[in-house]
Structure 1
Amino acid sequence: MASSIIFQAVFLFSLLGTCFSARILFLLPLATRSHVHVFEPLMKALGERGHEITNLSPIISSNMPPTVKQIQLITVEDLIGSMPDPFEQRRRGTIRAMFNSSTIEHMNKACIKVLETPRFYEVLEKEKFDLIIVDIFINYCVLGVIPMFNAPSILVTTMSAPSSLSTAFGNRLPPSFVPSSLLKYTDEMTFLERMTNTLLDTAMGLMMVSLFLSKSEAMYKEYLPNGKNLPGIDEIQGNASMLFMNSHFTLNYPRPLLPDVIEVGGMHTKPPKKLPKDLDDFLSKSGKDGFIFFSLGSIVKAKNMPEEHRKIFLNVFSRLKQRVIWKWETETMPDLPPNVKLSKWLPQQDVLGHPNIRLFMTHGGLLSTQESVYHGVPVLGMPLFADQDLNVRQAERGGYAKMIEILDITEEKLESAILELLNDPAYAKKAKELSTLVKDLPQTPLDKAVYWTEYVLRHKGAPHLRSAARDLNFFQYYVLDVAAVLLGALALVIYLISCCCKSIYRRTCGKKATKHVHFKKE
């Protein structure tokens, strides 16, 4: 019996992909630091399983196995160095900021810089790959690379995929209960909210085509070898084998997903490691009052924060019993209170996993909210752009967070929100409950991503998972053509019945009226 079990285990282990080695291209040339952090664990895991990985990215990751070759085409500064001030973007509004002409032009220039880099073409000409994995969010301009290798592809999005992306897989998201990432709605919308969500969902799809996709397609057709003969973006996306979404049904609102659309949210989350001694001493000595962790992510720089905001945060922090560790681009500040420590860089998950942490003050990036739940830490969210409003609203609805508008922040509002989160045990309790839920899975998100990656390799793109909905247009998918025919038929039946009733009425009621007149006395 024991030998039989061992044999089955060995057979299953070999079946899951360790018996073959594939050459995999991670195409992330325009990925920001947070985007790369999503994929690093998957690259490392696949590399450790013997696959040969080539990673095109602005970030050179550390602690990668020798099977992972990293190639930096442009730097992070090339990508986001002149991006608009996040506070100014907030004032403009999320939609205006995302589709701002200067932002689009900046991204187009970064795309062209990648497409003009000789090292990029060395990879294309000399390498052969069995699978292409693409961060689809801002890398559309290199999507033409996929058909050049005649290999299956997996598209990955660092957020929950909008309908404009998942539609390529036949997975249209109903706007009746799946809110746009640019709105603050929940999955329980009023009629007006559903109407707004539907209109925005449609408008976003049209804007993506007109402002991003058409320009990106023109760029790769101009720069890539034999580019004029490459298929369009719609066809390339429609031929992709699978879509990985950095979402989790516990944190994001549940939605219907086809078998080739996989949730792998949280695959970057991990248990905490020991902190550097100086940082550990500061946090461990916070005692029973604990400490607060304040970080606005990697894009928001100290220089961007208005001076009045900086003073508001410092004045409130100085009145707290808790210590505060603040991610800031300098390690000195003339008016720094003794309970506040600055750091240019912090191992975020190791800090969130420290036993003395009481609160995480964050911009509400998806990775940060996932990490806060994984480690069971309440959140004070101050969103700035993109999907951050939605993330914080979902966290608020989940019962482990509060949101404040950073543009309208005052000492009173900030202190009130912090004290509520610290003094009401319901927030910490809910964060711990959700932490248990996100870990209660048949396999970790990383194991899930590795399994399905190798599944696509083993089954030559896994075409059997594809839904016929990929080939349906909007009217066919929602059977609007059928509805139109049925409504037309119903209208015809109603018309014929109406005509018949009028005819009967004339023959019966008309005769009675005539008969009545005929016998009427003078």
Structure 2
Amino acid sequence: MSPLKIFQSLLLISLMGTCFGEKILFLLPLASRSHVHVFEPLMKALGERGHEIVNLSPMESKNMPPTVRQLQLITVEDLTGKMPDPFEQRKLGTLRAMTNSSSIEHMHKACIKFYENPQLSEVLKNEKFDLIIIDIFLNYCVLGVIPHFNASSILVSTMAAPSYLSNIFGNRLQPSFVPCAFLKYTDQMSFLERLINTVLDSVFAIMWDRMFVERSEEMYRKYLPNGDQLPNIAEIQANSSMMFMNSHFTLNYPRPLLPDVIEVGGMHTRPAKKLPKDLDDFLSNSGKDGFILFSLGSVVKAKNMPEESRKIFLNVFSRLKQRVIWKWETETMPDLPPNVKLSKWLPQQDVLGHPNIRLFMTHGGLLSTQESVYHGVPVLGIPVFGDQDLNVMQAERGGYAKMVEIIDITEEKLENTILELINNPTYAQKAQALSKLVKDLPQTPLDKAVYWTEYVLRHKGAPHLRSAARDLNFFQYYVLDVAAVLIVLLVLIIYLISCCCKTIYRRTCGNKATRNVHLKKE
């Protein structure tokens, strides 16, 4: 950061004085790079507004104002270094990959390493916070930090929150039109899909509870001061002030939301900036045919893809008129065609905003999907794990994307899909139309997130936003207890009416029959 920017930030802090002097902890120790990228814009914006920020994250974020103090108690390599090969996990299926015991054990070990770092003890002992913002997805083991500091909290879901997360706020999602995050369903499901969606949604919530909650409670009670007196995870979550969801109704299907569940998807999106010269020369000189961007994100290592798949991509790229910029983890590659350029790191949004881009080949991560829509670029989705299948399915339904399966990809299938997306103008038109929609908002997603963060601070946790639905169990929420009573009453009424009818019948028809018998005898 330049001295001028530092001076401006310090001046801003001094002018704001007591208006924005709150202290905020960003708690995301078990967050991947992409998860950290969700938080960075909010962290920077709040820091620039004079809030004192402490960031507990596995990676250092760049270009932060001096009000942001960053502590790396574990590293990204501690989280991802020993994770199973995602290409092999893909063969197991989404559900089995998500519940893989070795992956879960790896996350628990990373959390122990976080707790055993001496710097954490200093933070716990010497710091006080007005608000804690936490990446809720895999950070259950550190939830005990919230009651330790007796602070308000905002939970952040780095995707459209699954039902087991939104239920915490009384925001129960109907499985009839809200697809489970790990299924390829749309919001218009057949009867069989609704059945599978309902069952799997419930089963996954139970599995998630068994995989993370019980052991996470044991962990923070063991490592935090007075841990045995800390509330359980259900209580901690139930006392949260708000949830931010990294989603947008145009991309993730509309769903009913309570006032303390806020969509802030696309906080990180922005107009393109100038590219480095070597990259700009390669892309700007691509001519009327333009270029293709190919990236599988930060977690999936492209260099680890099966050799057969790598050759399929290379052979297809060599036959294209377009140039290809490929995010690859090494500097060189054997038999690289002249129209393909490798890069270890890419300023993805700046590349997506280049006027010569024709197609974005992506793993379908939510941030990448949001960026492609923001810049109006058609997508070829190659999902690998997690919510990527759903993201690509939603993009395909939106009319600006098509999907290919990485584990059974062929040259013919890949080439035909690329040519269809490039040569059919409908996909680009749909992407550009959707880009206008996501930008047509009264405030940017980042401004929205900043406003509601400060709203929670101003109103001491904003308890007035909480719905009474938080306190209702499943049977009460869906008035199943009332329905049961009404059914019993209805059955009772029907029974009583039936008894009355039988009695009346006996007294009237029975007497007539008796009289008729007597008359016949006479």
TM-score bracket for this pair, using the shorter chain length:
over 0.9
Tell me, in whole angstroms, the C-alpha distance in 1 between the residues paired with 2:513 and 2:247.
74
1:373-384 equivalent positions in 2, closer than 5 A: 373-384=373-384
Q: 1:301 Cα deviation (Å)?
A: 1.0
Give yes or no for the alignment of 1:240 onto 2:237: no
- Structure 1 runs (4+) deviating above 4 angstroms are none
Tell me, in whole angstroms, the C-alpha distance in 2 between the residues paired with 1:228 and 1:115.
16
Who is 1:195 aligned against?
195
**Partner SS, residue 292 of structure 1:** strand
Who is 1:399 aligned against?
399
Who is 1:117 aligned against?
117
Tell me, in whole angstroms, the C-alpha distance in 2 between the residues paired with 1:360 and 1:299.
18
Tell me, in whole angstroms, the C-alpha distance in 1 between the residues paired with 2:521 and 2:474.
69
1:249-398 equivalent positions in 2, closer than 5 A: 249-398=249-398
Aligned length: 507
Who is 2:486 aligned against?
486
Q: 1:515 Cα deviation (Å)?
A: 3.2
Asked if 1 retains the 8 angstrom alpha-carbon contact of 2:327 and 2:343, the reply is: yes
Who is 2:170 aligned against?
170
Tell me, in whole angstroms, the C-alpha distance in 2 between the residues paired with 1:330 and 1:46.
36
Q: 1:56 Cα deviation (Å)?
A: 0.3
Who is 2:128 aligned against?
128
CA RMSD for the aligned pairs?
Answer: 1.3
Who is 1:89 aligned against?
89
Tell me, in whole angstroms, the C-alpha distance in 2 between the residues paired with 1:206 and 1:86.
24
Asked if 2 retains the 8 angstrom alpha-carbon contact of 1:17 and 1:454, the reply is: no
Aligned-partner residue type, residue 219 of structure 2: M
Who is 2:432 aligned against?
432
Tell me, in whole angstroms, the C-alpha distance in 2 between the residues paired with 1:232 and 1:333.
51
Tell me, in whole angstroms, the C-alpha distance in 1 between the residues paired with 2:505 and 2:31.
74
Who is 1:33 aligned against?
33
Q: 1:503 Cα deviation (Å)?
A: 1.7
Tell me, in whole angstroms, the C-alpha distance in 1 between the residues paired with 2:333 and 2:50.
48
**Partner SS, residue 452 of structure 1:** helix
Tell me, in whole angstroms, the C-alpha distance in 2 between the residues paired with 1:20 and 1:106.
39
Label 1:18 to 1:292 Cα distance change in 2 as closer, same or farther (>3 A).
farther
Aligned-partner residue type, residue 404 of structure 1: V
Asked if 1 retains the 8 angstrom alpha-carbon contact of 2:137 and 2:157, the reply is: yes
Aligned-partner residue type, residue 261 of structure 2: V
Aligned-partner residue type, residue 462 of structure 2: A
Q: 1:87 Cα deviation (Å)?
A: 1.0
Q: 1:89 Cα deviation (Å)?
A: 1.0
Who is 2:501 aligned against?
501
Asked if 2 retains the 8 angstrom alpha-carbon contact of 1:57 and 1:72, the reply is: yes
Spell out, residue by residue over 1:110-140, the C-alpha distance to the aligned partner (whole angstroms, 9 max, x if none).
Answer: 1111111111111111111111110001111
Tell me, in whole angstroms, the C-alpha distance in 2 between the residues paired with 1:181 and 1:442.
28
Unaligned regions of 5+ residues in structure 2, if any? 1-15
Give yes or no for the alignment of 1:207 onto 2:207: yes
Tell me, in whole angstroms, the C-alpha distance in 1 between the residues paired with 2:211 and 2:220.
15
Q: 1:518 Cα deviation (Å)?
A: 3.0
Asked if 2 retains the 8 angstrom alpha-carbon contact of 1:18 and 1:49, the reply is: no
Spell out, residue by residue over 1:31-67, the C-alpha distance to the aligned partner (whole angstroms, 9 max, x if none).
Answer: 1100000000000000011111000001101111111
Tell me, in whole angstroms, the C-alpha distance in 2 between the residues paired with 1:462 and 1:256.
20
Spell out, residue by residue over 1:138-182, the C-alpha distance to the aligned partner (whole angstroms, 9 max, x if none).
Answer: 111000000111111111110011110111111111111111001
Aligned-partner residue type, residue 495 of structure 1: Y
Spell out, residue by residue over 1:452-491, the C-alpha distance to the aligned partner (whole angstroms, 9 max, x if none).
Answer: 0000111111111111111111111111111111111011
Asked if 2 retains the 8 angstrom alpha-carbon contact of 1:331 and 1:343, the reply is: yes
Who is 1:217 aligned against?
217
Who is 1:413 aligned against?
413
Asked if 2 retains the 8 angstrom alpha-carbon contact of 1:312 and 1:410, the reply is: yes
**Partner SS, residue 103 of structure 1:** helix
Who is 1:64 aligned against?
64
**Partner SS, residue 426 of structure 1:** helix
Q: 1:302 Cα deviation (Å)?
A: 3.1
Asked if 2 retains the 8 angstrom alpha-carbon contact of 1:364 and 1:392, the reply is: yes
Asked if 1 retains the 8 angstrom alpha-carbon contact of 2:20 and 2:49, the reply is: no
**Partner SS, residue 293 of structure 1:** strand
**Partner SS, residue 274 of structure 2:** coil
**Partner SS, residue 144 of structure 2:** helix
Tell me, in whole angstroms, the C-alpha distance in 1 between the residues paired with 2:205 and 2:33.
26
Aligned-partner residue type, residue 469 of structure 2: A
Aligned-partner residue type, residue 484 of structure 2: A
Q: 1:506 Cα deviation (Å)?
A: 2.1
Tell me, in whole angstroms, the C-alpha distance in 2 between the residues paired with 1:520 and 1:321.
106
Who is 2:452 aligned against?
452
Tell me, in whole angstroms, the C-alpha distance in 1 between the residues paired with 2:98 and 2:59.
23
Tell me, in whole angstroms, the C-alpha distance in 2 between the residues paired with 1:457 and 1:376.
36
Spell out, residue by residue over 1:426-450, the C-alpha distance to the aligned partner (whole angstroms, 9 max, x if none).
Answer: 0000000000000000000000000
Tell me, in whole angstroms, the C-alpha distance in 1 between the residues paired with 2:389 and 2:65.
37
Q: TM-score, normalised by structure 1?
A: 0.95
**Partner SS, residue 90 of structure 1:** helix
Aligned-partner residue type, residue 471 of structure 2: D
Asked if 2 retains the 8 angstrom alpha-carbon contact of 1:266 and 1:445, the reply is: yes
Tell me, in whole angstroms, the C-alpha distance in 1 between the residues paired with 2:491 and 2:190.
31
Who is 2:19 aligned against?
19
Aligned-partner residue type, residue 123 of structure 2: V
Tell me, in whole angstroms, the C-alpha distance in 2 between the residues paired with 1:80 and 1:205.
24
Tell me, in whole angstroms, the C-alpha distance in 2 between the residues paired with 1:151 and 1:134.
12
**Partner SS, residue 268 of structure 1:** coil
Tell me, in whole angstroms, the C-alpha distance in 1 between the residues paired with 2:171 and 2:221.
27
Give yes or no for the alignment of 1:228 onto 2:228: yes
Asked if 1 retains the 8 angstrom alpha-carbon contact of 2:359 and 2:379, the reply is: yes
**Partner SS, residue 244 of structure 2:** strand
**Partner SS, residue 183 of structure 1:** coil
Tell me, in whole angstroms, the C-alpha distance in 2 between the residues paired with 1:494 and 1:302.
68
Who is 1:5 aligned against?
none
Give yes or no for the alignment of 1:145 onto 2:148: no
Tell me, in whole angstroms, the C-alpha distance in 2 between the residues paired with 1:244 and 1:479.
28
Asked if 2 retains the 8 angstrom alpha-carbon contact of 1:294 and 1:326, the reply is: yes
Asked if 2 retains the 8 angstrom alpha-carbon contact of 1:18 and 1:50, the reply is: no
Q: 1:495 Cα deviation (Å)?
A: 0.9
Q: 1:325 Cα deviation (Å)?
A: 0.4
Unaligned regions of 5+ residues in structure 1, if any? 1-15
Aligned-partner residue type, residue 246 of structure 1: N
Asked if 1 retains the 8 angstrom alpha-carbon contact of 2:131 and 2:151, the reply is: yes
Q: 1:329 Cα deviation (Å)?
A: 0.7
Tell me, in whole angstroms, the C-alpha distance in 1 between the residues paired with 2:518 and 2:91.
83
Aligned-partner residue type, residue 92 of structure 1: L
Q: 1:17 Cα deviation (Å)?
A: 10
Asked if 1 retains the 8 angstrom alpha-carbon contact of 2:168 and 2:237, the reply is: yes
Asked if 2 retains the 8 angstrom alpha-carbon contact of 1:17 and 1:458, the reply is: no
Asked if 1 retains the 8 angstrom alpha-carbon contact of 2:303 and 2:328, the reply is: no
Asked if 1 retains the 8 angstrom alpha-carbon contact of 2:303 and 2:330, the reply is: no
Tell me, in whole angstroms, the C-alpha distance in 2 between the residues paired with 1:402 and 1:22.
46
Tell me, in whole angstroms, the C-alpha distance in 2 between the residues paired with 1:147 and 1:60.
26
**Partner SS, residue 292 of structure 2:** strand
**Paired-residue identity, %:** 81
